[in-house]
């Protein structure tokens, strides 16, 4: 299987054209499959940006309710937890998340929470104060919880399941390097 993937990767770099009937399909840096954005370099930056954009679309659809002064803060927080946040965190359970991705999601959420209350950065109200008003948990805690739940589901599967077979996968030619692991 790995040899086939290596051959496919070698073909991509060699200028071989992929055709569907007579039409040549161009090589792209990323493409959308189902709901995910898959990038050629294996990163998830495009998918994180897409999820944040989807989140903003849900916020703008509900901006009439969310920015209304007469709606109580707890109801706005509940609306955020039930409808808006699951939109952004839908695929986050299986992402290899970096700190930059978590930071971008935190920034997007705080912008939306500030929009709910009509506060701007000029008002100099701390993020913690706004989060306490709405009673919303941190995005990074929610992402960690989703990943752990997903890991539990995968770990309960039988060891013969395709998802679990990668745990027993032995890579030919790879040895563990002696000494202390490098800090990245």
- Note whether residue 42 is domain-resident: yes
Average pLDDT of every residue of the chain: 80
- Note whether residue 182 is domain-resident: no
- Note whether residue 180 is domain-resident: no
Confidence band for 104, pLDDT divided at 50, 70 and 90: very high
- Residue 103 pLDDT: 92
**Full domain range(s) for residue 67:** 30-156
- Note whether residue 183 is domain-resident: no
Q: How far is CA 4 from CA 9, 124, 167, in A?
A: 9, 56, 20
Tally the domains of the chain. Answer: 1
What is the residue whose two structure tokens read 């209350």? 117
- Note whether residue 22 is domain-resident: no
CA pair distance 89, 52, nearest whole angstrom: 9
- Note whether residue 19 is domain-resident: no
The CA angle 10-15-18, to the nearest 5 degrees, is 90
- Note whether residue 179 is domain-resident: no
Residue 1 has pLDDT above 50, yes or no: no
Residues 6+ apart with CB under 8 A from 66: 59, 76, 79, 80, 115, 116
Residue 140 has pLDDT above 80, yes or no: yes
- Note whether residue 175 is domain-resident: no
**Whole-model pTM?**
0.69
Residue 184 has pLDDT above 70, yes or no: no
List the one residue out of 63, 73, 44, 15 whose CA is nearest residue 143: 44
Q: Among residues of the chain, what percentage have pLDDT more than 90?
A: 2
């Amino acid at each position: 299987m790995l040899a086939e993937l290596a051959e496919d990767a070698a073909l991509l770099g060699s200028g071989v054209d992929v055709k569907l009937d007579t039409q040549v399909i161009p090589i792209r840096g990323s493409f959308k499959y189902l709901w995910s954005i898959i990038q050629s370099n294996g990163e998830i930056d495009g998918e994180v940006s897409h999820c944040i954009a989807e989140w903003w679309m849900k916020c703008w659809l509900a901006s009439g309710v969310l920015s209304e002064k007469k709606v109580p803060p707890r109801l706005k927080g509940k609306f955020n937890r039930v409808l808006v946040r699951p939109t952004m965190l839908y695929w986050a359970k299986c992402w290899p998340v970096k700190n930059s991705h978590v930071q971008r999601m935190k920034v997007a959420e705080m912008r939306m929470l500030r929009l709910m209350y009509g506060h701007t950065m000029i008002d100099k109200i701390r993020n913690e104060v706004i989060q306490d008003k709405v009673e919303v948990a941190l995005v990074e805690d929610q992402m960690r919880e989703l990943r752990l739940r997903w890991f539990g589901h995968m770990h309960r599967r039988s060891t013969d399941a395709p998802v679990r077979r990668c745990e027993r996968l032995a890579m030919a030619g790879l040895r563990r390097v002696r000494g202390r692991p490098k800090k990245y």
